[in-house]
Amino acid sequence: MFWLSHHHPDEYNRTYVLAGVRVCARCLGTYPVLAGVFLALFALKAPLQWEWDVPVVLGLTLPALVDWAVGRFRPASGSNAVRTLTGILLGVGLGRSLYVHVQRPLPAVLLAQALLVTGVAVPVILATYRRPRPE
């Protein structure tokens, strides 16, 4: 089931098996926390702008990006506990930026987050794209 685990068989070390289904370790941290933060911010009627939004959201996003990038260059490195933890941090950052975005489209916090992700992901993907996959 691809939507629960977007990993190829040679990357199954990056997944948990829950009820017989493989689930991405980072996504398991990211999506439930994203949903929880998003809903909590609405329930609390959180402000749409905090002066520390951009640095905090970028700081919460960066660990997942770094861990992902290291994993692209060294596929056997890392642990699922770290992936899940960085996913939780990412979920908090994404929850905040999404909360603001749905009320004021394309806020600075979301644009900064998108630039950071793109600035890291594109060079890493290009550098590792042609790497042969183990069989």
Whole-structure pTM value: 0.90
Element (DSSP H or E) covering residue 31? helix 25-43
Tell me the pLDDT tens digit for each residue of 26-55: 999 999 999 999 999 999 999 999 999 999
The structure tokens 């994993």 sit at 71
Distance spanning both ends of the chain, measured CA to CA: 20
Tell me the pLDDT tens digit for each residue of 39-96: 999 999 999 999 999 999 999 999 999 999 999 999 888 999 999 999 999 999 999 9
